[in-house]
Chains A and B, each alone.
Chain A
Amino acid sequence: QVQLQESDPGLVKPSQTLSLTCTVSGASINSGGHYWSWFRQLPGKGLEWIGYIYYSGSTYYTPSLEIRLSISIEASKNQFSLKLSSVTAADTAIYYCARNLLGSDVFDIWGQGTMVIVSS
């Protein structure tokens, strides 16, 4: 079955760039129709959609993060990645990668999540 696994950057210093990778297994990231997405959940809070990338490379970002955000695909490794620049403590969260249900902007396949702490 399809599985997603986030990398584990652990601690990131303020003002640096957070880099996360999601490795996809059980399916090709180039399979048509799917969006590959990032979400986050601040400590004790609800869910926030960050953005997604289509298999063709088109990207869609949430406006509040767009200026600091980049999502890309590395098809040869069956991975997609997130880079968030100029991080602050407010970016401390659990980050999830996910895949959409075909034809819809809902997400039925999720990674287990990775905790990212922004601290000096």
Chain B
Amino acid sequence: VLMQSPGTLSLSPGERATLSCRASQIVNNNYLAWYQQKIGQAPRLLIYIASRRATGIPDRFSGSGSGTDFTLTISRLEPEDFAVYYCQQYGSSPLTFGGGTKVEIK
């Protein structure tokens, strides 16, 4: 099970966002990914293997962590970053997702 916190994060553009994903058991090989999803759109891959940015993802997005505790950090929020963020583990089957963190404009 992947638990994401907080459920909602209310921040202003330019602020730093820190999102947490905690696994109930060790994520093998740190196979943990982060996705961004906007209303009416499909998810967009941001980060994989805990800290590797996907192609075309701005460097204000960074991932960290290992074992059971992982973090997605957005260094300075841009207007287009307000969305829902999901973590996904792929270290064991079945693939599973966290419940999501909504980053909303304060």
Contacts and interface: CB of A to CB of B under 8 A. Distances in A.
Interface of A: 46-49, 60, 62-63, 96, 98, 101, 104-108, 110-113
A4 to B, nearest CB: 9
28 contacts: A46-B86, A46-B98, A46-B99, A46-B100, A47-B43, A47-B86, A48-B97, A49-B94, A49-B95, A63-B94, A96-B42, A101-B45, A101-B48, A104-B49, A105-B31, A105-B90, A105-B95, A106-B54, A106-B90, A107-B45, A108-B45, A108-B54, A110-B42, A110-B43, A110-B44, A112-B41, A112-B42, A113-B42
Contacts of B55: 108
Q: Is the interface of B mostly helix, strand, loop or mixed?
A: loop
Most-contacted residue by chain A among B31, B45, B49, B96 (CB, 10 A): B45
A7 to B, nearest CB: 16
6 smallest CB-CB distances across A and B, nearest first, come from A105-B90, A110-B42, A49-B95, A106-B33, A47-B97, A62-B94
Nearest to B55: A108
B93 interface: yes
Interface string B73-106: 0000000000000101010011111111000000
Contacts of A105: 31, 90, 95
